[in-house]
Amino acid sequence: MKRVHVSYSGSVQGVGFRFTAQDLARKYKLVGWVKNGGDGGVELVVEGEEKPLKDYLAEIKREMAYYVREENISWEPGTGEFSDFRIRF
């Protein structure tokens, strides 16, 4: 199991980014969270097997490409601390 921590910047708030991230996480059976950042960006922490994680990130990139200016991705070992995927407020 792996963990991915991603920070997205651009016009990513108010465009359904968090709901898209949540729907896709459920599609790929991934766990973690997504939230709006105070800087106008979106922060994402997601865990699962490497292949579904890569597919998930690629699909977010395709679906939200118009809104994302930059993404900073950090791969880490999974912790197993999550049981589902949630939008944090």
pLDDT band at 84 (very low <50, low <70, confident <90, very high): very high
| pLDDT tens, residue by residue, 16-62 | 999 999 999 999 999 999 999 999 999 999 999 999 999 999 999 99
Contacts of 41 (CB under 8 A, 6+ apart): 7, 8, 9, 10, 12, 13
Can you give the residue range of the structural domain that contains 62? 2-88
Q: How many domains does the chain have?
A: 1
Residue 15's pLDDT is 97
- Known catalytic residues are 18, 36
Residue 18's pLDDT is 98
Residue 69's pLDDT is 97
Residue 44's pLDDT is 98
* CATH number, residue 22: 3.30.70.100
Residue 41's pLDDT is 97
Note the residue count of the chain: 89
Residue 89's pLDDT is 92
Q: Residue 11 has what DSSP assignment?
A: S
